[in-house]
Structure 1
Amino acid sequence: MRDQHNKCTQTTCWDHPKMAELYQSLADLNNVRFSAYRTAMKLRRLQKALCLDLLSMPMACEVFEQHGLKQNEQLLDISQLVTCLTSMYQRLEQSHSHLVNVPLCVDMCLNWLLNVYDTGRTGKIRTLSFKTGIISLCKAHLEDKYRFLFRQVASATGFCDQRRLGLLLHDSIQIPRQLGEVASFGGSNIEPSVRSCFQFVSDTPSHRHTQSPSSLV
């Protein structure tokens, strides 16, 4: 596992052999015609390969809390990511020992997170990016995921400014981007989506002074 971690800090990230196999199997899905189905199938295959279909949101939140992941703009290095992922998969192993190989899962999930969020090969990703990746693929209802992720960028009063919403949308769009599906979701430029969201709120007369984007999720 140590060799994998070291190789992922190099300028060109080395993919774990099992990850390379996974990427090939995802590429095989490109013949699925409709983008929504194609993307969903890729996400499901990725989710199951990383065993994140076994991870409940409460368990994920417990791991975040255990490791003090409260400052969402803080950078996490490789060793911190490994520590968090190891805790997470050790918990999963306790109830799914026949499905979860902790060292392999840690390597695979680390590999994927770096490929998605560390395109500059710095060996670090933001805490918000880590949470976005894990929560997006965990076992939970979609609306619950939306609410959790929005709370990560909202103020204590439930409001979010354009910059913070932009950070969340940027991190979210990196997942379909890495799967080769970003064009189906409007491309990588999230600014129009941010402007549209705030324009919608400001153009709603009955909620003009009371509604925040948090009420939209």
Structure 2
Amino acid sequence: MIFVFSLSSSADLNNVRFSAYRTAMKLRRLQKALCLDLLSLSAACDALDQHNLKQNDQPMDILQIINCLTTIYDRLEQEHNNLVNVPLCVDMCLNWLLNVYDTGRTGRIRVLSFKTGIISLCKAHLEDKYRYLFKQVASSTGFCDQRRLGLLLHDSIQIPRQLGEVASFGGSNIEPSVRSCFQFANNKPEIEAALFLDWMRLEPQSMVWLPVLHRVAAAETAKHQAKCNICKECPIIGFRYRSLKHFNYDICQSCFFSGRVAKGHKMHYPMVEYCTPTTSGEDVRDFAKVLKNKFRTKRYFAKHPRMGYLPVQTVLEGDNMET
């Protein structure tokens, strides 16, 4: 089966220089094509409960997947009848799930894989998704060991892998990510949800594509009362990048993602990203940072690059992502 939303559908996004944003923008396009941006977490959970999908290590065959997807999309059609074509959405989502989780074409995927795919792309707060997914691999006492966390991270990394982007997120070997999480938890044998959430808030390299997807969605309708110093777009729509080295220096997402810079501004200079319009408090804070950075040398910025995520050291696959 060939999934309608092929990689070529996102070919125009391949010129986005930063892998986390390139992946997130492809996933946002996919999310909309599958109408999963309309699916609330509670509606997804209701459908999963209705089909009694509680044993996460159990396999689902194609008929079970279709039945559950039909329940999900029937409900979405009732709420958004002019946006949802049930047979088309079921067919496309089935194809996507099989492309991600059934590369051997066995006609089966695990219940955990189904949940990971649907919940990752549904409409919900980021931390609600984290809590739900952690609960799927935790024991009845609410704790999770390394093996079970590995199952969740393995299923999660398959999503960028299917887009050909896995190397930027540490590769398909999730052992370093599991090790990173448990080192963060002082090498306890098991972790609880609160520790997992604290680790995920650091945006570990293997999972950074998911919070970036949420920022991409939030930025879509953002309008900033600022002018891009490169292409002169005003107001800036989408992401706004404000320099923390120069006063009143802003870049729109198109120029930032393509790596364009104006004279006198270097790529390694610190910038702050906004996916929603700035508040007066943020303006004051940024002004103070620019003032401080005015007295710092070029050598300082080259020596102190800002890492926007928690790097995960890998042995074989994948280089560290761009800052």
Tell me which stretches of 4 or more aligned residues in structure 1 moved more than 3 Å. Answer: none
Between structures 1 and 2, the one with greater helix share: 1
The letter of the residue matching 2:112 is L
User: Which of 83, 87, 91 is the aligned partner of 2:67?
Assistant: 83
Partner-residue secondary structure (3-state), 1:125: strand
Q: Deviations over 1:173-207 (max 9, x none)?
A: 0001011111111111101111221122125xxxx
Partner-residue secondary structure (3-state), 2:185: helix
Summarize the alignment of residues 53-202 of structure 1 with structure 2, pairs less than 5 Å apart.
Answer: 53-202=37-186
Aligned match of 2:191? 212
> How many angstroms apart in 2 are the aligned matches of 1:36 and 1:213?
27
Q: Are the aligned partners of 1:73 and 1:126 in contact in 2 as well (CA < 8 Å)? A: yes
Summarize the alignment of residues 12-51 of structure 1 with structure 2, pairs less than 5 Å apart.
Answer: 14-16=1-3, 18-20=4-6, 23-51=7-35
The higher-RCO structure (CA 8 Å, 6+ apart) is 1
The letter of the residue matching 1:170 is H
Q: Deviations over 1:96-124 (max 9, x none)?
A: 01000000000000000000000111000
> How many angstroms apart in 1 are the aligned matches of 2:53 and 2:76?
19
For structure 1, which segment, 176-185 or 100-109, has the greater mean C-alpha deviation from structure 2 after superposition? Answer: 176-185
> How many angstroms apart in 1 are the aligned matches of 2:84 and 2:97?
18
- What is the deviation of 1:27? 2.6
Between structures 1 and 2, the one with greater strand share: 2
> How many angstroms apart in 1 are the aligned matches of 2:179 and 2:5?
37
Q: Are the aligned partners of 1:201 and 1:213 in contact in 2 as well (CA < 8 Å)? A: no
Q: Deviations over 1:144-170 (max 9, x none)?
A: 101100000001221101111000000
The letter of the residue matching 1:46 is L
Structure 2 gap segments, 5+ residues each: 198-323
- What is the deviation of 1:172? 0.2
TM-score by length of 1: 0.87
> How many angstroms apart in 2 are the aligned matches of 1:183 and 1:27?
18
Q: Deviations over 1:37-93 (max 9, x none)?
A: 111111100000000000000000000000000000000000000000001000000
Structure 1 gap segments, 5+ residues each: 1-13
The letter of the residue matching 1:19 is F
The letter of the residue matching 1:167 is L
- RMSD value, Cα: 1.4
> How many angstroms apart in 2 are the aligned matches of 1:151 and 1:94?
29
Q: Which is greater in Rg?
A: 2
For structure 1, which segment, 27-36 or 43-52, has the greater mean C-alpha deviation from structure 2 after superposition? Answer: 27-36
The letter of the residue matching 1:154 is A
Q: Are the aligned partners of 1:150 and 1:214 in contact in 2 as well (CA < 8 Å)? A: yes
- What is the deviation of 1:213? 4.1
Partner-residue secondary structure (3-state), 2:60: strand
Q: Are the aligned partners of 1:197 and 1:213 in contact in 2 as well (CA < 8 Å)? A: no
> How many angstroms apart in 1 are the aligned matches of 2:24 and 2:192?
26
Q: Are the aligned partners of 1:176 and 1:182 in contact in 2 as well (CA < 8 Å)? A: yes
TM-score by length of 2: 0.59
Q: Are the aligned partners of 2:37 and 2:123 in contact in 1 as well (CA < 8 Å)? A: yes
Q: Are the aligned partners of 1:198 and 1:213 in contact in 2 as well (CA < 8 Å)? A: no
Count of matched residue positions in the alignment of Structure 1 and Structure 2: 196
Aligned match of 1:52? 36
Q: Are the aligned partners of 1:153 and 1:164 in contact in 2 as well (CA < 8 Å)? A: yes
Q: Are the aligned partners of 2:5 and 2:30 in contact in 1 as well (CA < 8 Å)? A: no
